Structure 1
Amino acid sequence: MFDEESSEPLTNSDTNNATKFHPDDATYESRTRLDGTATFEQHYTRLRSHNDGIYTGKWADKAQLRDQDNNAVFDAIAGQLELSPFQKAIGRTEFGTLNLRDLSSPAGIDTPLVAIMVAAVVARRDGRGYHPARSPASNDDLFTALLSELGYTNGLVHSAFGKVQYRLDCSQ
């Protein structure tokens, strides 16, 4: 039932900073804007960034940008490893709790490797087996194929898996 005291949901923006689209933008002939942006696409991209809270004027929230980039890496890895939506949600949350700077090493532990190891720990809880100490024949094929394709050494994978598993197990 519609509540007369509240605003109509279709007319309100779902962001804090409402962006209004003008119907003439779709048919504007010169496709350039007077506010300094070259195209309407750039204009609305900038407004979306402001609405997301990433950009405030000329400055960017670097921590939020880094989190977005890291989440994109984890989402790509989760898709490649065919994690279930539940595993992906749990893995993304746990990946966000890790301090990637503490896990990194000069030997090559980087963000994609940490994302793969988080996915391995999360998938293992649901019975999907991957552990770097097991033989490739007894491990999950998607994990072994991805790790071999990315060229990580066995020692590096062992180290990363141990670090990630320890931190995730301690946080529970």
Structure 2
Amino acid sequence: MEKARRERNGRPSTLVVRAAPGRKSRAIVRFGPLTLMAAIGRSGRTVVKREGDGATPIAAMRLLHGFRRGERNGHLPTTLSVRRIRPDMLWCDQPTDANYNRLVKAPFKPSHEEMKRNDGLYDICLVLDWNVTSRVRNRGSAIFLHLIRPGYEPTAGCVAVSARDMRRILPFLRKGTIVRVL
């Protein structure tokens, strides 16, 4: 963790996500001296990410900011900007909408994801810069680093880690930290 601490104070640190042997929807995450298990997209990884393909993009993505479920998570030990999730927060995943791959407010008719989920996946949810700062229709939306489902079930394209592991790495993550999916 000393290396991660040094990198936090200087250049952006890197969280490396590699495919785990045996299952295309499992991954191994390396962050400094830590090795963590993770879930990735049900379709594995891809260099040609498309909306709804269930794949995690092979890319180097910067961490932008995050969200937290307030009643389940108090203050989080991170320098990242983390907003408390409200019930009216949604994320637009409709490629033809002007708000594609953006946070929107309910009521909102086009296709979207609820940020305040009942399953707890977004209790801690960090936004990766995949198709966010420079958007292209159908290139994929809502690519996050978030919490895992029991049994490390696949994601729809995100990277997911356990709550314990998220809390271990959060103090070392900051805006600009690179999440590199190989």
Global fold match (TM > 0.5): no
Structure 1 length normalisation: TM-score? Answer: 0.27
Structure 2 length normalisation: TM-score? Answer: 0.26
Of Structure 1 and Structure 2, which has the larger fraction of its residues in helix?
A: 1
**Which is higher, the Rg of structure 1 or of structure 2?**
1
Of Structure 1 and Structure 2, which has the larger fraction of its residues in strand?
A: 2
